[in-house]
Amino acid sequence: MKFSEETMSILKNFSAINNGIYFEQGNVVKTVSPKKSILAEAKTEDSVPVEFGIYDLNKFLGAISLFDSPELSFESNHLVMTSDKAKVIYSFCDASLVVRPPNKELALPNVDVSFKLSKDIYDSTVKAALVLQVPEIGIVGDGSKLKLQAYESKNNLSEQFSYELGDTTDTFSIIFKVENFSKLMSKDYNVSMSSKGLSKFVSDDEKLVYHIAIENNSTFNA
């Protein structure tokens, strides 16, 4: 088998969430950050035939990139990458060496806020947060407008970027750390948020799902 460009992009994104990964048999790949603040799941074009662990995902992707499009074959404790006359043997790691997501499906206990987030707005807001060097990104409702903001919530004098998303009659401030919010792949998302401290981002094609923890200083007065 071969990994498609889409699968490689997903794995590269997941490597920023967790350095290691454990592949289950099939075409669904999951990862979780070491602090359990981000849980990601993707349906890929490729289906792996066995379960295996990779301790250093960036190193694994680097090995694949040594070839244009290598053939991958799976053995009991390693994977073989071949292209023409070249070959790489890459060892699996034990499952205990990888921080793995829970087996059960994660569901929001309730949905208090929902909206659509476009790729362009997501990209602009993350870029603004990095340029302005602010620590947080917030979904803010002021009783009239719904905004996406890059700012420091406890400092009214800090630099701030905002983008108006639409109208709302509710009042709330849902806060994320930039380091968590910026881990999403650049896509269009349907977003749901719960006052219980959890959010869900589902890509328009429903192939990608991210759950991201909401910070404790968030407020819900809806």
Are 39 and 101 a contacting pair, CB within 8 Å? Answer: yes
Are residue 16 and residue 51 in the same domain, yes or no?
Answer: yes
16: tokens are 């920023």
Are residue 151 and residue 127 in the same domain, yes or no?
Answer: yes
pLDDT at 36 over 90: yes
Task: Report the alpha-carbon distance of residue 122 to residue 203 in Å, rounded.
Answer: 12
**Nearest alpha carbon to residue 47 among 23, 71, 67, 30:** 23
Task: Report the alpha-carbon distance of residue 54 to residue 26 in Å, rounded.
Answer: 16
Report the percentage of the chain scoring pLDDT > 90: 93
Is 68 domain-assigned? yes
DSSP 103-139: SSPP--S--SEEEEE-HHHHHHHHHHHHHHT-SEEEE
Average pLDDT, the chain: 95
Is 103 domain-assigned? no
**56: burial class by Cβ within 10 Å (0-12, 13-18, 19+)?**
middle
What pLDDT, in 10s, does the model give residues 3-13? 999 999 999 99
Are 44 and 64 a contacting pair, CB within 8 Å? Answer: no
Is 105 domain-assigned? no
- Per-residue model confidence (pLDDT) at position 222: 53
Domain boundary residue, one of 44, 63, 97: 97
Domain boundary residue, one of 70, 97, 124: 97
Instruction: Find the distance separating the first CA and the last CA of the chain, reported in whole Å.
Output: 50
**Look-up of token digits 């004098």:** 157
Are residue 134 and residue 200 in the same domain, yes or no?
Answer: yes
Are residue 79 and residue 125 in the same domain, yes or no?
Answer: no
What pLDDT, in 10s, does the model give residues 75-105? 999 999 999 999 999 999 999 999 999 888 8
Domain extent, residue 129, equals: 113-220
- Strand, helix or coil for residue 207: coil
Are 35 and 66 a contacting pair, CB within 8 Å? Answer: no
Are 38 and 17 a contacting pair, CB within 8 Å? Answer: yes
Domain boundary residue, one of 66, 97, 128: 97
Q: Is the Cα torsion angle 169, 170, 173, 178 positive or negative in sign? A: negative
Are residue 65 and residue 136 in the same domain, yes or no?
Answer: no
61: tokens are 């992707």
Report the percentage of the chain scoring pLDDT > 70: 100
122: tokens are 């997501």
Are 108 and 93 a contacting pair, CB within 8 Å? Answer: no
- Per-residue model confidence (pLDDT) at position 104: 84
92: tokens are 């699996």
- Per-residue model confidence (pLDDT) at position 139: 97
One-letter identity of residue 103? N
Are residue 33 and residue 127 in the same domain, yes or no?
Answer: no
Question: What CATH code is carried by the domain that includes residue 74?
Answer: 3.70.10.10
- Per-residue model confidence (pLDDT) at position 103: 85
Domain count, the chain: 2
Is 70 domain-assigned? yes
Is 102 domain-assigned? no
Task: Report the alpha-carbon distance of residue 46 to residue 117 in Å, rounded.
Answer: 27
Mean pLDDT of the region 145-161: 94
